[in-house]
Structure 1
Amino acid sequence: MSFNVAGRGALITGAASGIGLAASRSMLGKGLQSLVAYDLNPSLPDVAEELRKEFPGTEIITHVADVTDPTSLQAAFATPLDGGRPLTIVSNNAGIGGADWEKTLAVDLSAVIMGTSMGLARFKKEAAGGVIVNVASMAGLAPMSFDPVYTAAKHGVVGYSRCFQHLIKKGIRVNCLCPAFTDTPLVQGLVDDPKFGPAGKMAIESLGGLIPMENVVSAFMGLVENEDNNGAVMTVTNAHGIMPMKFPLDP
């Protein structure tokens, strides 16, 4: 069965660039009617204005704030949509890497848990069902030795996202996206970092280079639109394309 995004409302963190922006544009192109875009980047209002011009008639609401701020995040999740439209799509996508391990855990894991909890609460309140896609990484499935804290955070996102399959009874699905290195500002920042750069470049080369954004967006849309994906962990690599991850203890 297919979950049609047309006419729906969505909230995406990290929406100003990278996977968040590309996923937003893809859903708007398929008729998404309301988008709550959340990002710390001050360019977010300008990005939103470009989207309004590209997709006239859509409602785009911006929240420029830190995803680790629970008050700001809760305000975004409480945003009313035009016509009382329910919020039925959430993507916890914001992420960082780098040397500040506490901030990395706060953004890459704690904020994902907060965003999922807030999304589920709104889904249940509005009783319209919905789908959450948490963006992790291949680092959530295999060690990335040059950034172990990022690896730990993304492993946490994968494990956490797999724990909600029982909510399908209420029409709610939670899935996880695990792309390898994608051409995003986060990855470029990692490569340019003097501490992590050389190892990062080697890791990218070992996986066949950067993944085209369209491949990652295709996997994202599959997790949203294909209702068979419930508790799914979808990997995206240049070597194997888009593939669901199988775990040893899965039934």
Structure 2
Amino acid sequence: MSLAGSAAVITGAASGIGLACTRKLLSSGVSKLIAVDFTDKLSPAVADLQSEFPKATVISHHADVTDAPAFAAAFEHLGASEPLAVVANHAGIGGEADWEKTIAVNLSAAIVGTQLGMKHFGSEGGVVINTSSMAGLFPMSFGPVYTASKHGLVGYSRCFDHLAARKNIRVCTLCPAFVDTPLVQSLLDDPKAGRAGQMAIDELGGLIPMEKVVDAFMELVENDKHVGTVMTVTNKGGAVPARFP
């Protein structure tokens, strides 16, 4: 899959995995990138990216992904000259107390993003990458709501293999273990979940360097053999497609 001259929409683009994947897409030839986030970090992040990639157009779209109309407005920045090729739903939060918010961000907003991508892909199709977690494949006892949201996203994303042959649309899922991000750090700082989280990190070989996650993301984007792939990423095993019965 060639990204040269294409457009991409990425949520959670101001930090963490979203920002790292945004930078990689721009370096891989994406000429218009619409960065979606609700934090104050978005504007300076986009300014830095625009300076780093002056030939591309990097658009800051400040929106809460749980606000469907505000999220959908991000796609209004698309133009005819740069066909939409990639939609990456990276936005995610932890938190068990406000469980409805966790479900809304981690699952519902990604469903909306997937539907918007399918609506705006042209005749050449495109790829949607939904970032779940290893918690989407295995129970995380100290985060049952987070686990539910990520399991739901894996199941949802596996339902669209038939679109590859009909419309050249692929939907894949990225399932990293614990990555060195602010979200994981907030887990470790939690007095209730931190100890269990550290044990889980140690069991999976430690925190994953961001480069490994970005490489797995780009493998899903660029290799069109990945149709419905759920790509796990750990320090011990690297990037490996999950196997299902």
1:149-200 alpha-carbon deviations (Å, 9 max, x no partner): 0001100010100100111121110000000000111111111122321211
Distance in 2, matches of 1:119 and 1:78, equals: 12
Alignment-derived partner of residue 175 in structure 1: 172
Q: Indicate the residue corresponding to 1:162 in structure 2.
A: 158
How many pairs does the alignment contain? 243
Distance 1:203 1:80 in 2: 41
Provide, for residues 59-89 of structure 1, a one-character-per-residue CA deviation record: whole Å limited to 9, x for no partner. 01111111100011110122233x5322110
Counterpart residue type for residue 11 of structure 1: V
1:59 pairs with one of 57, 61, 86: 57
Q: Does 1:146 align with 2:138?
A: no
1:193 aligned to which of 186, 190, 195 = 190
1:77-104 C-alpha deviation (Å, 9 max, x unpaired): 22233x5322110001100001211110
Amino acid in structure 2 at the alignment position of 1:239: K
Partner in structure 1 of residue 73 of structure 2: 75
Matching of residue 240 in structure 1 with residue 231 in structure 2: no
Q: 1:38 aligns with which of 27, 36, 39?
A: 36
Structure 2 segments unaligned to the other structure (5+ residues): none
Residue number in structure 2 paired with 1:115: 113
CA RMSD between the two structures: 1.0
Report what 2:129 is aligned to.
133
Q: Report the counterpart of residue 95 of structure 2 in structure 1.
A: 98
Residue in structure 2 matched with residue 16 of structure 1 by the alignment: 14
Letter paired with 2:176: P
Secondary structure of the corresponding residue to residue 21 of structure 1: helix
Percent of aligned pairs with the same amino acid: 59
> CA separation in 2, counterparts of 1:104 and 1:145?
16
TM-score (norm 2): 0.97
Measure, in 1, the Cα distance between the counterparts of 2:151 and 2:76: 29
Q: CA deviation at 1:34?
A: 0.5
**What corresponds to 1:84 in structure 2?**
81
Please identify, of 218-227 and 3-12, the stretch whose mean Cα deviation from structure 2 is larger.
3-12
**What secondary structure is seen at the aligned counterpart in 1 of 2:232?**
strand
Q: Which runs of 5+ in 1 are unaligned?
A: none
- The residue type equivalent to 1:127 in the other structure is S
Structure 1 length-normalised TM: 0.94
State the secondary structure of the residue aligned to 1:5: coil
- Residue aligning to 2:3: 5
Distance 2:231 2:188 in 1: 24
